[in-house]
């Protein structure tokens, strides 16, 4: 008489979070969102699921700001003329003048905090 | 003619980096990242699943690995270890109103460029946008 044989399971079932990460790394955003929805529907309590819920959500409009930018042709003109001298550096330009430059963005920011420019500078990394 | 108010803001886009001419045109728009006061250029990349943020800017705004989820991504530059984080981004208008949205960005120490890229998923998929290439105008608004 035939008897049922128990097949040993060697492969653990991947967690929802592992499956989500795998899809994300393959740029399969739709599939990652579907696994996330399934996990939430099933009431999964896997840690970091809430983080993935936030990361995989479509962007959310947070509001509107009346703050407007000015014409930046002076800044672009400065960069076109002098930018090549600052390759691999961050530069901050306001109007036709450079305010600061540095190989480090953190140093550039610290310098700008000290300078307190009259308006928001244009900051750019020159590749 | 449509009566729908498609966009709430407009800015001038650049079709090449200000310091050099490139063989092919790209779209660089003005943004403000998180609460940084300055204006920066970011490249629109509708073909990219994710947006990418310079590791130096990420560090400056506190978007460190502990605040995100670790992932490994592939690009034309190779394989990059990094993490995904959610951040506010402002599309800065020259006319109309600036638009504040949030988006998911990939940050990696291995990523070789310091330019910000705006990808489709979790950022551009939440807004309306359009280009007028003759005038270099970038229109944007809430969808």
B100-110 confidence digits (pLDDT tens): 999 999 999 98
B residues 38-57 lying closer than 8 A (beta carbon) to A: 38-41, 49-50, 54, 56-57
Q: Per-residue pLDDT averaged across A68-84, rounded?
A: 92
Q: Does A123 touch chain B (CB under 8 A)?
A: yes
Please indicate, yes or no, whether residues A37 and A80 belong to a single structural domain of this protein.
no
Residues of chain A neighbouring B97 (CB-CB closer than 8 A): 64-66
Cβ of A61 within 8 Å of Cβ of B127? The answer is yes
Torsion angle of the four alpha carbons B52, B53, B59, B60, in this order, in degrees rounded to the nearest 10: -160
Percent of chain A whose predicted confidence (pLDDT) is above 70: 91
CB B104 within 8 A of CB B122: yes
- Report if residue A63 sits inside a domain: no
Q: Per-residue pLDDT averaged across A38-42, rounded?
A: 96
Please indicate, yes or no, whether residues A50 and A21 belong to a single structural domain of this protein.
yes
Neighbours of A76 (CB within 10 A): 20
Top-confidence residue, B61 or A3: B61
Nearest CA in chain A to B33: A123
pLDDT confidence tier of residue A2, bands split at 50, 70 and 90? low
Strongest mean pLDDT among A33-37, A59-63, B72-76, B121-125: A33-37
Residues of chain A neighbouring B78 (CB-CB closer than 8 A): none
Domain boundary among A56, A88, A107: A56
Contacts of A18 (CB under 8 A, 6+ apart): none
pTM for this one?
0.90
Q: Does B116 touch chain A (CB under 8 A)?
A: no
What's residue B97's pLDDT? 95
- Report if residue A65 sits inside a domain: no
Please indicate, yes or no, whether residues A86 and A47 belong to a single structural domain of this protein.
no
- Report if residue A115 sits inside a domain: yes
The count of structural domains within chain A is: 2
What would the pLDDT profile of B79-104 be if each residue is shown by its tens digit?
Answer: 999 999 999 999 999 999 999 999 99
Angstrom distance (rounded) from CA A44 to CA A52: 13
Say what the ipTM of the complex is: 0.91
Please indicate, yes or no, whether residues A52 and A77 belong to a single structural domain of this protein.
no
Cβ of B12 within 8 Å of Cβ of A72? The answer is yes
- Report if residue A91 sits inside a domain: yes
- Report if residue A79 sits inside a domain: yes
- Report if residue A112 sits inside a domain: yes
Architecture field, domain B9-142: Beta Barrel (2.40)
Please indicate, yes or no, whether residues A77 and A121 belong to a single structural domain of this protein.
yes
- Report if residue A95 sits inside a domain: yes
Please indicate, yes or no, whether residues A78 and A119 belong to a single structural domain of this protein.
yes
- Best of A19, A64, A94, A108 to disrupt the B interface (most B CBs within 10 Å) is A64
CB A92 within 8 A of CB A122: yes
Cβ of A58 within 8 Å of Cβ of B126? The answer is yes
Please indicate, yes or no, whether residues A79 and A122 belong to a single structural domain of this protein.
yes
Cβ of A121 within 8 Å of Cβ of B14? The answer is no
What's residue B112's pLDDT? 87
Angstrom distance (rounded) from CA B34 to CA A57: 18
Cβ of A27 within 8 Å of Cβ of B49? The answer is yes
Sheet holding B95-96, edge to edge: B95-96, B9-12, B137-142, B127-132
Q: Minimum mean pLDDT among A23-27, A42-46, B18-22: which range?
A: B18-22
Q: Which residue has the tokens 């592939």?
A: B74
Q: Looking at the predicted structure, is the pLDDT value of residue A1 above 60?
A: no
CA distance B130 to chain A (A): 17
Q: Are strands B95-96 and B9-12 parallel, antiparallel or unpaired?
A: antiparallel
- Report if residue A6 sits inside a domain: no
Exposure b/e, A36-64, CB count within 10 A at least 16 = b: beebeeeeeeeeebebbebbbbbbbeeeb
Q: Which domain holds residue A107?
A: 73-126
Cβ of B38 within 8 Å of Cβ of A122? The answer is yes
Angstrom distance (rounded) from CA B143 to CA B125: 9
Q: Looking at the predicted structure, is the pLDDT value of residue B14 above 90?
A: yes
Cβ of A57 within 8 Å of Cβ of B122? The answer is yes
**Torsion sign over Cα B53, B59, B64, B70:** positive
- What residue segments make up the domains of chain B, in order of their start? 9-142
What's residue B99's pLDDT? 96
Please indicate, yes or no, whether residues A52 and A88 belong to a single structural domain of this protein.
no
């Amino acid at each position: 008489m035939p008897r049922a044989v128990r097949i040993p399971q060697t492969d653990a079932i991947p967690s929802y979070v592992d499956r989500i990460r795998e899809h994300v790394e393959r740029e399969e955003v739709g599939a990652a969102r579907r696994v996330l929805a399934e996990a939430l529907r099933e009431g999964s309590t896997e840690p970091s699921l809430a983080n993935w819920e936030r990361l995989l959500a479509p962007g959310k409009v947070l509001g509107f700001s009346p703050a407007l930018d000015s014409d930046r042709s002076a800044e672009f003109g400065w960069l076109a003329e002098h930018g090549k001298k600052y390759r691999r550096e961050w530069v901050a330009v306001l109007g036709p003048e450079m305010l600061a430059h540095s190989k480090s963005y953190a140093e550039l920011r610290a310098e700008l905090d000290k300078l307190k420019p009259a308006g928001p500078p244009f900051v750019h990394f020159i590749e | 003619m449509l009566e729908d108010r498609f966009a709430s803001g407009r800015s001038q886009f650049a079709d090449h980096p200000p310091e050099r001419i490139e063989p092919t045109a790209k779209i660089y728009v003005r943004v403000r990242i998180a609460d940084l006061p300055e204006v920066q250029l970011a490249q629109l990349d509708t073909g990219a699943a994710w947006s990418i943020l310079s590791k130096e800017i990420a560090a400056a705004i506190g978007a460190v690995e502990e605040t995100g989820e670790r992932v490994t991504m592939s690009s034309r530059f190779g394989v990059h270890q990094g993490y995904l984080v959610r951040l506010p981004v402002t599309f800065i208008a020259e006319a109309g109103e600036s638009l504040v949205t949030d988006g998911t960005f990939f940050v990696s120490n291995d990523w070789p460029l310091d330019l910000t890229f705006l990808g489709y998923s979790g950022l551009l998929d939440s807004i309306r946008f359009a280009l007028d290439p003759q005038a270099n105008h970038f229109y944007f608004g809430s969808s």
